Amino acid sequence: MARGSTRPTSRDVAQAAGVSQAAVSLVLGDKWRGRVSETTAQRVREAARDLGYRPNLAARNLRLGRTRTVLLVVPALTTEFFAGVYTGATRVAAEHGFGVVLYPSPEGIGPARDPFASAQAALDGVIASSMAADALTAIRGEALPLVMLDSDPAGSLGAATVNLDIADGVRQVAEHLLSLGHRRFLHLAADVPSWTFEVRARELAARLAGVPGTSVRTARSPISIEGAVAAAETALSGPGPRPTAVVCDDDQLAAGTYKAARRLGLRVPDDLSVTGLDDLALATAIDPELTTVRLDAELFGERGMRALLAVLEGREPEGGDIPVSLVVRGSTAPPGRP
């Protein structure tokens, strides 16, 4: 194409690659698998890149009746975990010509309850965390193709569910603390009615019940450092033998436990071992650094977006929970004095 001429078209790409315009549409629309060869697809992509071709998405979307926009519904933007989920989802979305609109739950710090006059008309699909499921009704998102994150697969509202292997993370925490010799536990549980926190409580109780001589108390706290300070201080200063290990549902709860321990004259980990879950930046900012379960938030977002694309295309989403791993740092040690 001569320099200075109009922008390249799909016909130019087809001529450069030696294929039909239909083949170009299939390849650049990511619908080529099983229809054209990998070699042909690569040739089309190279021709489009060399020509600087960009599809006219507005016209294409009008033809398809799609906006190529996805809504990501999260509880709130109070930790970097959901920022990671958003980053992963947008990375995959961009590869397929989709945009992602972030909508914090109405209970968080987000916009008005209905960000669209009609969600069905403005969106192709929704990815939602179970912690923000109430927002789906407010935006009528349950009527759209829906992928749920961190949700009970047996009772999910969505066409697909993507989960981290939280149960295994809790088992890893319990086994680590048991191997150090701990038998008196405090579970500082997130005071949030969500499946993911129910799993944590259930798995911890089940694992500890299998070891003779163990005991576990439960204290509930909002997911905030301030709330955790109050809840942990009350629980640790209560009657009876003091727990030697605190299992926290979240790294923020663990940070609050550190402050509560300090107020009570307890040292971490000499007098009290503490574990978290998430592996936020906070985990290495506190001293001693926190033993916690690392969750790959970006991979979580990527898998959520890939699952939604599969639903939109009538394919079966990838199965299996996303693995998690325990990161052992300085906040855990064998129990100290009785």
Rounded to an integer, what distance in angstroms lies between the CA atom of residue 44 and that of residue 194?
47
User: How far, rounded to the nearest angstrom, does the alpha carbon of residue 223 sit from its chain's CA centroid?
Assistant: 16
pLDDT per position as a tens digit, 127-155 = 988 776 666 666 555 567 889 898 888 87
pLDDT of residue 325: 97
Residue type, 291: T
pTM of the model: 0.76
Residue 22 has a pLDDT of 83
Mean pLDDT of 217-225: 94
18-34 average pLDDT score? 81
What is residue 180's three-state secondary structure? helix
Query: What is 263-279 written as a DSSP string?
Result: HTT--TTTT-EEE-SB-
What distance in Å separates the CA atoms of residue 163 and residue 23, rounded to the nearest whole number? 36
Superfamily of domain 67-163+298-322 in the CATH hierarchy: Response regulator (3.40.50.2300)
Question: pLDDT-derived band of residue 3, with 50, 70 and 90 as boundaries?
Answer: very low
pLDDT in tens, 85-103: 999 999 999 988 888 988 7
In the predicted model, is pLDDT for residue 272 greater than 60? yes
| Domain extent listing, the chain | 10-55, 67-163+298-322, 166-294
Residue 65's pLDDT is 43
Q: CA neighbours within 13 Å on the CB side: how many for 247?
A: 31
Q: Do domains 67-163+298-322 and 166-294 have the same CATH topology?
A: yes
Q: In the predicted model, what is the mean pLDDT of residues 111-115?
A: 49
The radius of gyration of the chain's CA atoms, rounded to the nearest angstrom, is 25
pLDDT band at 109; cut points 50, 70, 90? very low
Give the mean pLDDT of 44-70.
68
CA dist 40 and 309 (Å) reads 23
**Helix axis angle, 10-17 to 38-51, nearest 10°:** 120
Domain 166-294 sits in CATH at 3.40.50.2300
Q: Name which of 25-29, 89-93, 171-175, 257-261 the model is least confident about.
A: 25-29
The terminus-to-terminus CA distance of the chain in angstroms comes to 82
Average pLDDT, the chain: 85
The CA distance from 258 to 252, in Å, is 10
Percent of the chain with pLDDT over 70: 84
CATH of domain 10-55: 1.10.260
Per-residue pLDDT tens digits for 288-328 = 999 999 999 999 999 999 999 998 888 888 889 999 999 99
pLDDT-above-90 percentage for the chain: 51
